[in-house]
Amino acid sequence: MSAFVLSREYELQLPISYVDIDRAEMEYVDGGYSIPVNVAMLSSAYCLSYATTLWIQGVISFSNILVIAKEIRGHAAAYYGLSGLSALGISNSTLEEMKRSANPIDIRDGYDPRWYVVAACELIWTLPG
Q: 44-89 pLDDT, tens per residue?
A: 999 999 999 988 988 887 778 999 999 999 999 999 988 888 889 9
- What pLDDT was estimated at residue 119? 94
In a domain, 90, yes or no: yes
Q: Residue 90: give the domain boundaries.
A: 33-125
Can you give the pTM of this predicted structure?
Answer: 0.73
- What pLDDT was estimated at residue 129? 86
DSSP readout, the chain? --HHHHHT---PPPPTT-----HHHHHHHTS-EEE---GGGGSHHHHHHHHHHHHHTTSS-GGGHHHHHHHHHHHHHHHHT-TTTGGGT--HHHHHHHHHTBTTEEE-SS--S-HHHHHHHHHHHTS--
Counting the structural domains of the chain, the total is 1
In a domain, 13, yes or no: no
In a domain, 10, yes or no: no
In a domain, 24, yes or no: no
Q: Tell which residue, 117, 80, 118, has the closest CA to residue 97.
A: 117
In a domain, 49, yes or no: yes
pLDDT over threshold 90, residue 22: no
In a domain, 14, yes or no: no
